[in-house]
Amino acid sequence: MSAATDPNPVYPAALRLAGRRAVVVGGGVVAQRRVLGLLDARADVLVVAPEATPAVEALADGGEIRWERRPYRDGDLAEAWYAVAAADDPAVNAAVARAAEAGRVFCSRADSADDSSAWTPAVGRHDGVTVAVIGGGDPRRAVDVRDGVLEGLRDGTLAAPHHRGRTPGVALVGGGPGDPDLITVRGRRLLAEADVVVADRLGPRGLLDELAPDVEIIDASKIPYGRALAQDAINEVLIERAKAGKFVVRLKGGDPFVFGRGFEEVLACAEAGVPCSVVPGITSAVSVPALAGIPVTHRGVAHEFTVVSGHVAPDNPKSLVDWPALGRMTGTLVILMGIERIAAIAATLLANGRAPQTPVAVIQEGTMPGERRVQTTLGLIEEAVAEAGIRPPAIVVVGPVVGLT
């Protein structure tokens, strides 16, 4: 519909009401919603109503708004820049609208869009962007459109890059266990805004295909028995690109601080004077078992769970894990990077108290199309892993919770 044929033409504008008087007549649920929106705009809010909801009363008691506990009367809009007529009585709302018209104050009348000089849009905010939708008199449609736009902004499917220039630096983003749908909303948004992406093999690789053609992608994969980009080299790449004025996303699998060496990269950036932010990710230690139907805790079965790295054998002097203590525990044990040393790990746990019949699940490439699962017992795990040809990356879950599935 063109503006010429629209029966209710409007001129969209964003009001800057910070420090300016906004008068809300009425204290019910509708008025409450309007008050909260006006407070978000930092308006000087005056509520005029004999009664109000507990939420409005709490705002008044806390000093966030001023509440005149009385009926509306002439002169209440004298200092107003904006008015909301949200009383239960249509006659009161009509009086407010007339006074606003006479005083050239824009007024939103909650019970009559046709008699309002200002319409309240469906509003949402994300990362500095305000989405305000007017549905042509259909508030439900406005809400649906608003929610659709916000969802796209939050999950990265609707790009809204910072064209005024994002500050050069590094964002350390946890990509989750591998499935692209399991990255956080903020992580996906920053990935869409990156100039450079330094990606691990275990990160959500599918998201790299969505990047713009001019985004530089650097493979930082640490592939077992293959080529590896040393951590120092990774740090140098992050710092070099950031100092060249680029916004760099370091995309890692799982959570950057769960056996991901993420804090080493944070320290390297700090020493080089490069701004670095961290976006936590969903750790595979919990998410992969959960998606495989295994809870790491369950009432009456496990009151604790422990996550350990198995990249160093139990008998290696460099190991920082108290494996004998883990053998004595009865809770759930989640082992990351332990497949290559599973025989020694199992033997140590058995020697220190874990029963041979303890249920064990091994999940390879969890959440990914090539996911494989082996369920066995601690006493038979070495043979089961070898027979199934399980290779990294794989997660081992030890404990009674495995037997629940």
**Residue 226 reports pLDDT greater than 70:** no
Phi-psi region of 265 (alpha: psi -120 to 50; beta: other; left: phi over 0): alpha
Residues 149, 252 share a domain: no
Residues 153, 53 share a domain: no
pLDDT at residue 85, rounded to an integer: 97
Q: How far apart are CA 212 and CA 195, in angstroms?
A: 9
Residues 267, 292 share a domain: no
Which CATH number belongs to the domain containing residue 371 in this structure?
Answer: 3.30.950.10
Contact 222, 276 (CB under 8 A): no
Residues 100, 21 share a domain: yes
Give the pLDDT confidence of 115-127 residue by residue, as tens digits. 999 988 888 877 7
Domain hosting 53: range is 1-120
Residues 30, 51 share a domain: yes
198 three-class SS:
strand
Residues 49, 29 share a domain: yes
Residues 304, 276 share a domain: no
Which CATH number belongs to the domain containing residue 181 in this structure?
Answer: 3.40.1010.10
Which CATH number belongs to the domain containing residue 89 in this structure?
Answer: 3.40.50.720
Residues 204, 152 share a domain: no
Please state the separation of Cα 178 from the chain's center in Å.
16
* 318 assigned to active site: no
List for the chain the helix, strand, coil content (%; round to 5): 35, 20, 45
Residues 182, 277 share a domain: yes
Binned at pLDDT 50, 70 and 90, residue 202 comes out as confident
Catalytic pick from 44, 76, 200, 255? 200
Residues 200, 137 share a domain: no
Closest to 70 measured CA to CA, from 54, 49, 52, 88:
49
Q: For the chain, how many structural domains are there in total?
A: 4
Contact 108, 119 (CB under 8 A): yes
Find the radius of gyration of the CA atoms of the chain. 29
Residues 390, 348 share a domain: yes
**Residue 171 reports pLDDT greater than 60:** yes
CA distances 112 to 23, 46, 119, 271, Å, are 18, 21, 10, 61
Residues 193, 87 share a domain: no
Answer yes or no: pTM beyond 0.75.
Answer: no
* 200 assigned to active site: yes
Give the pLDDT confidence of 251-268 residue by residue, as tens digits. 999 999 999 899 999 999
Q: Is the dihedral of CA 293, 296, 297, 301 positive or negative?
A: positive
Catalytic pick from 115, 155, 222, 322? 222
